[in-house]
Amino acid sequence: MRRRLFLLFIALHALVLVGWVVSLEWAVARGATIRVAVAQRDPRDLLRGDYVWLQFAFSEIPPSAFAAPARPNAGDRVWVALAPHEGVWELTGASLTREALPLTPGARILVGRVDYPLVQVPEPTGGRPQAVHVVYGIERYYVPEGKGTPPRGQKLEAELALTADGRPFLRRLFVDGRPYP
Amino acid sequence: MADRFRTRLRAEVTRWVRDGLVTSEQGERIVARYPASTAWFARPIALFSLIGGAFIAAAVALVIAHNWQELHRWVKLGGVVALMIGAYAGGLVVRDRGYPKLGDGVLLIGGGLLLIGIGLVSQIYNLSGRPADALLLWWVLLLPAAYALPSLALVMLGYTGAFAWYWTLTFDRTSWLGSELAPNWILVPVALAAAGLLLFPLGLVHGDGRYRSVRRFLEQLGLATLVGSLYPLSFLWRDLSMPDTTGRWPVALPVVLVFAFVAVTAASYWLPRDTPAVRAGLVAVLLAVLVYLVALTGAVSARAPGVIFRALGFADWALIFAASLSLILYGARWGRNAWVNWGIVFLGIHALARYLDLFGTMLQTSLLFFVTGAFVLLLGWALEWLRRRMTAQAAVRRESA
């Protein structure tokens, strides 16, 4: 009896893994594909190997981009609106509630979580305006061993699949318009 | 242990024969009654099986981490699932053939491959959200299977996963727990100590039967987490600068503390048999730690003045000392050597931490150590006196009977 129960649980392990992949395939296939600009940061996960650590333009959201004055806390959900602009999708607004997010025609929603409520972002002009640091769960692009550092100084873009409810999937990385690696 | 007993028995029997208590023939029969145990051989097999299993799982993990993009994702996933099922099946076969410990080692590879499979899926789909979610999925799937068989190695692996999940959750600023703890570092050790208070009674529940090794594992993990988390708080007396809290009262942390309270009160039922007063003593120490954690959470949330934190820092010193001493006393009384060892280690670390903490004021440190040393010496003398008195009383009772 116990043995049968154990075998049932083992079958469940396999089913969960396969089922999970099927659900992800389904979400990615149905999601809208968009391209966004990114900056590369860094390297290695013990279980999943080398990766390129990505920082998106909408990872740091200025307080002025929020629909209403907001004082977010770490862990809060953030709804972000993205719209196409010169080939890449850019931030047009953000909100701590879905209802308050203004959406222009053609814009899409992206959902993230507040990592740091207020960080100072250095600018080339020397200024350090404040921003809310948001993570989306797509900050790592896993690559074969030794490919974690694409050539620097070139234009980096990421192709995302966005589900209707704003869940993003990182599909491909482009360096100067070519898929990487 | 068994062989140590046999050596001691042989020496004792020689003395009994010499003193004329038993004949040499009787002595030989007594010694023959306890044949040489195979425990010494059994122990390395268990250890080597676990280490071997862990190495093989790590090897597969590295192959996955290498990230072969030439292979289609379904091929990679199919390979891991096939390996996982193969490892589980292999473990069952080895167990059935009379090698339970080796079988546990092979099952451990299966459990590790489940985590590797989860890692593989998140690698393929570039999912880098919360690492805690992957660990949650792992231990929630693993533990029921481990208890169903049961496989003690898998049970312990499952609890290791659960602990790793909680640990990761604590330090993840975007998680339901970590987001509450992030604004003030003091709450992190509070949350970890609460986990220790949950793990220790969870260990007790496993009793001394089939799950004895799980009991010992969880008890020790709980104790190390509990007292280990109290050490950083022992520096609170130093007027540390407190970061501003968000003004939000925590919700998740009090829930964890309530669970810890339920676990500690339930623990009184599972403690070894003894008088109610003695059993209540250990529960009282654990509850005192819990009350301290609640007070600290309240002080942080209410932005209490520095004097409160200083007082709580000194209270932490007393609690570490009381908890360590209780472990030594209760461990000795109930024959739990691991408790005694941990108690001694905790006291040693506490003394070292205080030495470093108070470094610079040598006379004060000297006074503190002198008072503590004198107290421990007096306590040792009192305990020895009590032991002798009780032994003598027991002997008198036996003779009069």
Side chain identity at B88, as an amino acid letter?
Y
Residue B195 forms part of a structural domain: yes
Q: Which pair of tokens denotes residue B77?
A: 């996933």
Q: What's the CA gap between B346 and B185, in Å, rounded?
A: 22
- B53 and B132 part of one domain: yes
Largest interatomic CA distance in chain A: 71
Which chain A residues contact residue B129 at CB under 8 A?
A: 135, 137
Q: How many angstroms from the chain centroid is the CA of residue B394?
A: 35
Residue of B nearest to A13 (CA): B141
Give the whole-angstrom CA distance, residue B363 versus residue B322: 24
Quote the pLDDT of residue B41: 47
My answer on whether B201 and B327 are in the same domain is yes
Characterise A75 by phi-psi region: left (phi > 0), alpha (psi -120 to 50), beta (else): left
- Domain termination residue (choose one: B175, B199, B233): B175
Look at residue B78 and tell me if it is in a domain.
yes
Contacting B residues, span 226-285, partner chain A, CB-CB under 8 Å:
246, 248
Q: How far is A135 from chain B (nearest CA, A)?
A: 8
Strands A140-142 and A49-56: antiparallel
Residues making up chain B, counted from first to last: 401
Which residues lie across from A35 on neighbouring strands? A159
**C-beta pairs of B88-92 under 8 Å, 24+ apart in sequence:** B88/A10, B91/B151, B92/A3, B92/A6
One domain for residues B60 and B143: yes
At residue B375, φ and ψ (nearest 5 deg) are -65, -45
Distance CA A10, CA B142 (A): 9
- Chain B environment of A139 (Cβ under 8 Å): 128
Q: What is the pLDDT of residue B397?
A: 61
User: A158 versus B249: which is more confidently predicted?
Assistant: A158
Q: Distances from the Cα of B1 to the Cαs of B5, B40, B199, in angstroms?
A: 6, 8, 27
- Which of A16, A20, A142 lies closest to B67 in CB terms? A142
Closest C-alpha among B232, B235, B242, B357 to residue B306: B242
Cross-chain residue pair A145–B67, CB shorter than 8 Å:
yes
B77 and B168 both lie in a single domain = yes
CB-CB contact of A110 with A168 (8 Å): yes
A168 to chain B: closest CA residue: B127
| 8 A C-beta contact, residue A43 and residue B172 | no
Does residue B21 belong to any structural domain of this protein? yes
Other CB atoms within 10 Å distance of the CB of residue B98: 8
Note the pLDDT of residue B224.
Answer: 93
For residue A172, pLDDT over 90 is answered with no
Instruction: Indicate the residue type of B175.
Output: S
What is the residue range of B18's domain?
1-37
- Would you kindly state where each structural domain of chain A is located, as residue ranges? 1-30, 33-180
Q: What is the pLDDT of residues A34-43, one digit of tens each?
A: 888 777 665 6
Which helix (H) or strand (E) segment holds residue A111: the answer is strand A108-120
CB B121 within 8 A of CB A20: yes
My answer on whether B191 and B304 are in the same domain is: yes
- For chain B, the C-alpha Rg in angstroms (whole number) is 26
Yes or no: say if A81 and A103 are a contact pair by the CB < 8 Å rule. Answer: yes
Sign of CA dihedral B244, B247, B252, B253: positive
CB contact burial B307-342 (16+ within 10 A = b; e otherwise):
ebbeebbebbbebbbebbbbbbbbbeebebeebbeb
Same-domain pairing of B207 and B159: no
For chain B, the domain total comes to 3
> Is the Cα torsion angle B217, B221, B226, B228 positive or negative in sign?
positive
- Residues B118, B222, single domain; the answer is no
Instruction: Flag whether B392 is in a domain.
Output: no
User: Is B6 a domain residue?
Assistant: yes
B61 in contact with A, Cβ within 8 Å: yes
Complex ipTM tops 0.90: no
Specify the pLDDT at position B319.
93
One digit per residue, pLDDT tens: chain B, 401 residues?
445 677 778 878 888 888 888 888 888 888 888 766 555 445 666 677 777 777 777 777 777 777 777 778 888 888 889 999 999 999 999 988 888 888 888 898 899 999 989 988 888 888 877 889 999 999 999 999 999 988 998 999 999 999 999 999 999 888 888 888 887 888 999 999 999 999 999 999 998 888 988 999 999 999 999 999 999 888 887 766 665 555 567 888 999 999 999 999 988 888 888 888 888 999 999 999 999 999 999 888 888 888 888 889 899 999 999 999 898 888 888 888 888 888 888 888 887 787 777 765 667 777 777 877 787 788 778 777 766 776 676 666 656 65
Contact list in A for residue B144 (CB cut-off 8 A) is: 9
Give the per-residue pLDDT at A80: 92
User: Is the same domain home to B85 and B9?
Assistant: no
Residues of B in contact with A8 (CB under 8 A): 148
Q: What is the pLDDT of residue B272?
A: 87
The DSSP bridge partners found for residue A84 are A89
Helix axes B100-124, B131-148, angle to 10 degrees: 150
pLDDT of residue B147: 93
| Residue whose structure tokens are 């001691």 | B8
Residues 6+ apart with CB under 8 A from B109: B53, B56, B57, B60, B87, B91
SS3 A175: strand
Q: Which of A2, A3, A10 to mutate to test the interface with B (most CBs of B within 10 A)?
A: A10
Is B107 contained in some domain?
A: yes
Q: Does B124 contact A135 at a Cβ distance shorter than 8 Å?
A: no
Over residues A44-49, mean pLDDT? 70
Evaluate whether residue B368 is within a structural domain.
no
Tokens of B381: 């003398």
SS3 B207: coil
Contact of B348 with B325, CB cutoff 8 Å: no
Query: Distance between CA atoms of B66 and B72, rounded to whole angstroms?
Result: 14
Cα B267 to the center of its chain, rounded Å: 15
- Closest-CA distance, A125 to chain B, in angstroms, reads 30
B133 and B224 inside one domain: no
Q: What's B21's DSSP letter? A: S
Helix ranges restricted to H, chain A: 2-30
Assess whether B207 and B261 both reside in one domain: yes
Q: How far is B62 from chain A (nearest CA, A)?
A: 7
Is B127 at the interface with chain A, CB within 8 A? yes
> Tens digits of per-residue pLDDT, B43-69?
666 677 777 777 777 777 777 777 777
In a domain, B375, yes or no: no
Which of B142, B175, B208 corresponds to the end of one domain? B175
**The dihedral sign for the CA sequence B340, B343, B347, B349:** positive
| Contact by Cβ (8 Å): B89, B144 | no
What is the C-alpha to C-alpha distance for residues A59 and A90, in angstroms, rounded to an integer? 11
Percent of residues in chain B assigned helix, strand, coil, to nearest 5: 80, 0, 20
**Statement: residue A127 has pLDDT above 70:** no
Residue B271's identity, in one-letter code, is L
Tokens encoding B340: 């005694």
Three-class SS of residue B191? helix
Distance from CA of B106 to the nearest CA of A (A): 14
The DSSP H or E segment spanning B43 is helix B39-66
